[in-house]
Structure formats: structure tokens, C-alpha cells
Structure 1
């Protein structure tokens, strides 16, 4: 029997190297072909993805154009034209005459003052109450889900319905004054007194809005990792310290979003004034949104109303821009 002598290790390595060197160009060519195929598929997939994204965004973009851009363009057109009430003639170009008339109108400046006063009070008040309720209802209290539903319920009711209910409750002979009378307090002119009407409207707006904004803040609180609170407890931080050092910094984004959205909502608040006060008494509730309605539909002057609407839009943009600047700093 003959035994074939084993090849030295160096010979085996040399043979393997020769095989690799022979197959190397083929493998490299195959890898290059696969890379080109992948790039080609990505290149073809790009336009298809853009087309699919455009199709999904088309309904939203169409609504934005119809419900946002077109009304603004129409308001600019109406605000720079004028016409006689009830005239069949086409409106004539007026330039900035409508804005000049607003500048010299005492009624307009009273409306601006009352609108800003209302928003300076109601916006922080609603955000603070909503934040307090959100923090309270995320503490594993008994029946917290029931309390959330009850607090949110006014936001699910149409604003006109809430305004009518509050109008009945705050009448001179309504339940609120009956309750005060049982305590020996004289009836109060909640919606008919110039010194109480703004406070009454703040109460109505907060009744409607607080529960709605609370839901956003509860969602923000639930997104805060619990490990932060556990670390703060280990460091000996109490409840107030954890609130200031953990909750508020982590809640800046949703908190400022709520502030921005709440500001816009209250600037265009209209139903309670139109249903309950008609801008009175003594123009104390003649906010800009109601004054726009009054000029357009009651005085038949849509051009002045359009100019006033553009002024309101500019005021909101300035305030919201400041708040978004704060939002950007909070994100940093």
C-alpha cells in the first residue's frame, strides 16, 4: 500500500491564494453589479416615493389652500377696496384708506384694548389650571379616568350650547344669583355690568377650554421617563423640587404648544359675545372678532371688517412668533 505524502502547509496556503486570486475579479465584478442594481432600484424608488407622498398630502394641502390661503387673499382684496352698502357697483380701489380709518377709530382701539386685556388674563389662567389638573390626574388617584372625562366633557359640547347654559346660569334671576342670595349677597350683574362682564367671559372660556388643553398636557406628562423621577427621589428631591426640576423642563414643548394654540383660540373667540353680550355693556366685550362680525354683517361694511381682520391676523402672528421663539429655545 502506497501512502501519498502530505503537502507542506506553505504549499496549501499557496494553492488557496492562487484560487482566491483566480476568483477575486469575478467576486468583485459580482459585488459591483449588485451595488449598481441596488442604486438603480433606489433611484427608481425615489420618484415613486415622492409621488406616493404627494398623493397622501394632496387632500391636506388642498384644504389648507381652500380654507386658509384663499380667505386671506380675499381679505386682502376686500380690505383694499371700498363700496357703498347695498350698491350693485363693483368695489373700487381704496388702497390703505380702510386701515387709515381704523387708525382714527376710537371703537377700533377700544376693541384692541379689550381683546388684549382678555387674552393677557385668560391665556395664562387656562394654561396654569390645565397644568395643575394634568399633574393632579396623573398621580394614580382613585377614579382618575372618570375625573378626566368629566373635566373634558365641556370641550365636547358645542360652544354655543355652553354659552346658552352659562347665559341662563348668570342671569340676574339665574341660579348663580339665587345661590348668592341664599348666602345674603346681593344679585350680581355678571353679564350686564361693565366691571364684571370680562371676568364672566373668562369664566365661560375657561370652562370650555381647560379640559381640552389638559388632555395635551396629560399626554406630555405620560411621555416623561419615570427614571428621572426615581433619580430625583434618590437625590432627596421633594414633590415641589421634582416638579420644578423634572416636570417643567421635560414639559416645555407640550406646554408652549398649548400656550400657542390657546392664544389663537382665544383671539378668535366669538360665540359667547355674540350670544350673551353683543359687545356690551359699554363696549367692554367688544373684542376684535365680534367687532369684525358687527362691521361686516350688521353695518354691511365688509371692507372695513376685512381690514380689521388683517390687523387681527398680524397681531396673532406677532404674538405667536414670540411664543414659537420661546418654543425653539425650549427645544435647544
Structure 2
């Protein structure tokens, strides 16, 4: 009897105290429960990778690999003329030659000046039109469509149309002569050709950037304008105190995207002026093209392209810095 009591006292587990078998079953259940979220996460990553793979592969083949090839090309020079001439390693010689070339220095300065002028001009006009066309004006949708239509025309077609309009015997000079003003050498004068290119680029770009700014203005809550009106703010004060602060991020995006687009602007220069007259419309992108295909200097053309890309990457870096400060 005493032995039975000792066995019961020693061998019978207390209530709430798990046995080894229970420990094993509980541990296995926990491990299975822990594996399930990991499996779901793995499936989610695999699904995302499957959807992203075509885009990433396209970026790799079309953007990254050609750019790396261009970088390698900048480190070589050709012993001879022509695309089939033998290459030899030259280090940074192409960069030294280009950056010490007065013509390239002038091209670089001209490209920066072009962007300093055209970017604020395009964005200011796009913002003014966006603000106007988000107000209650008659046929607002029709006006938006009219401003956006130039964006739907290929840049080649727009350049051809403007080339005809800006000719010495074109319709714009005809209007000037009708008004008693002298005809202007828009595309044949070194002092006017760059401004004419700005006109063509702005005719296309303003409507495009307007769409982004219209979307940004429409996202601003009406309550902010109502509160500003209750405080006695007029239209101009509401624009500075409500519209501009709330458009900070869309404006930053438009600024950087517009800058990048104008840095790589190529078609108007090629079709209307071929970089002239007297290189007055030669930009970095056109200079890289001309060095590669006209002068048969692909290494220097690649070097100009890399310099252009570095400048654009710096601008994108500034954009991310500004956006980071905006999240603050």
C-alpha cells in the first residue's frame, strides 16, 4: 500500500505541468506555426520576383549593361579612324581631353545655361496654367485638352511643324511683316537659335508637366482653402500659403524630371539646326551623338554620355535629399 502511494506521488504529474510527450507535441505545433509565416513570406517574395523579373531584366539589358559598356569604352582610345579601329587602354585620357577642350567646355556651359533658363520657365508656365484650369472657368476640360494636345504629337512631327513656322519665309515672319515688324532669323542666327529651341521644347513640355500639377492641386483638401478664406486670405495669399506648400513634392518631381528630360533633349537640335549655327544649339546629348557617328570617335562620345549621366544622377540625388527633408 505504501509502495502504491509512493508511485502515485512520484509518477503522477501535477495538474498544469506538461509531460515530456506534451512538451514534444507543443514544440512541434509551435515550430509548424512559426514555419507558416515564413512560407507565406517566401511565397510573397517569389511572387514579387516573378512579376518584377521582366522589368528588371529589361532594365539590365537596355540600361545597365549598355551604360557599363559605355564606361568601359571611355577608358580606351582607338588607334585609327573608324568604328573598326583597334582599341587600347588609356585610363582617364578621354575625360582629360574632353574637359580640357574649349568646345566641350562651351557645350557643357551651354547645356547648363539652357536648363537654368528653360526649367523654371516651363514649370512656372505649367503651374500657372494648372492653377487657372483648376478654377471654375468655362470649358475647363476643353482647355486642358488643348494644352495637352502637343504632348500627343511625336517630337519629330512637332519639330518639323516648328521648322516650317520659323523659316525666313514662314508664317510667323509673315505675321511679323504684316504687323510692320522686321522678319527674324529664328533658326539661322546664333543669338536666336537657342531661344527657338526653347520655344519648341516648351510647347511640348508645358502641357505634360501641367497634368502632374493639376493632379497635385486636385489632391489638396478643400478644407484648407475654406480655412484660409475664413482667416481673410485672398486668392494670391491662398496660393502662397496653401497651394505651394501642398504642392512641394509634385513640384520637386516635376523639377527633376523636367531637368533630366531637357538634358537629354536631342530631336529639335538634330532636325532644326544640327547643333548650329556656330554650335549655338549644341548640347551634351547632341555632342555625344555627333562625336560618335559624325566624327567616328565613339570613345569620346561615350565619355560625353557618361559625363551627362553623372550630372543627371547628381540631380536625382538632390531630389531624394529634398524629399527626405520633406518627410522630416
TM-score over 0.5 (shorter chain): yes
Structure 2: gaps spanning 5 or more residues: 1-14
Q: Residues 97-143 of structure 1: CA distance to partner in whole angstroms, max 9, x if unpaired?
A: 11111122111011111111110000011111111111111113221
Q: CA deviation at 1:87?
A: 6.3
Find the aligned partners of 2:261 and 2:253 in 1 and give their Cα distance: 12
Query: What pairs with 1:206-245 in structure 2 (closer than 5 Å)?
Result: 206-245=202-241
Q: CA deviation at 1:223?
A: 1.0
Task: Specify whether residues 221 and 280 from structure 1 end up closer, same or farther in structure 2 by C-alpha distance, changes over 3 A only.
Answer: same
Find the aligned partners of 1:281 and 1:95 in 2 and give their Cα distance: 34
Task: Specify whether residues 58 and 106 from structure 1 end up closer, same or farther in structure 2 by C-alpha distance, changes over 3 A only.
Answer: same
Q: Residues 287-321 of structure 1: CA distance to partner in whole angstroms, max 9, x if unpaired?
A: 11111111001111100101111111122222332
Q: From 73, 77, 80, give the equivalent of 1:82.
A: 77
Q: From 9, 34, 39, give the equivalent of 1:44.
A: 39
Query: 1:115 aligned to 2:115?
Result: no
Query: What pairs with 1:257-276 in structure 2 (closer than 5 Å)?
Result: 257-276=253-272
**Does structure 1 retain, via aligned residues, the 8 Å contact 2:130–2:211?**
yes
Query: 1:170 aligned to 2:166?
Result: yes
Residue 277 of structure 2 corresponds to 281
Structure 1 vs Structure 2 CA RMSD: 2.3
Find the aligned partners of 1:55 and 1:320 in 2 and give their Cα distance: 28
Residue 136 of structure 1 corresponds to 132
Q: Residues 44-97 of structure 1: CA distance to partner in whole angstroms, max 9, x if unpaired?
A: 211111100111111111111112211210111111111122364531111111
Residue 251 of structure 1 corresponds to 247
Structure 1: gaps spanning 5 or more residues: 1-21
**Does structure 1 retain, via aligned residues, the 8 Å contact 2:148–2:208?**
yes
**Does structure 2 retain, via aligned residues, the 8 Å contact 1:110–1:283?**
no
Find the aligned partners of 1:99 and 1:136 in 2 and give their Cα distance: 47
* SS state at 1:314 partner: helix
Q: From 44, 63, 73, give the equivalent of 2:58.
A: 63
* SS state at 2:281 partner: coil
Query: 1:72 aligned to 2:67?
Result: yes
Find the aligned partners of 1:132 and 1:309 in 2 and give their Cα distance: 34
Query: What pairs with 1:128-207 in structure 2 (closer than 5 Å)?
Result: 128-207=124-203
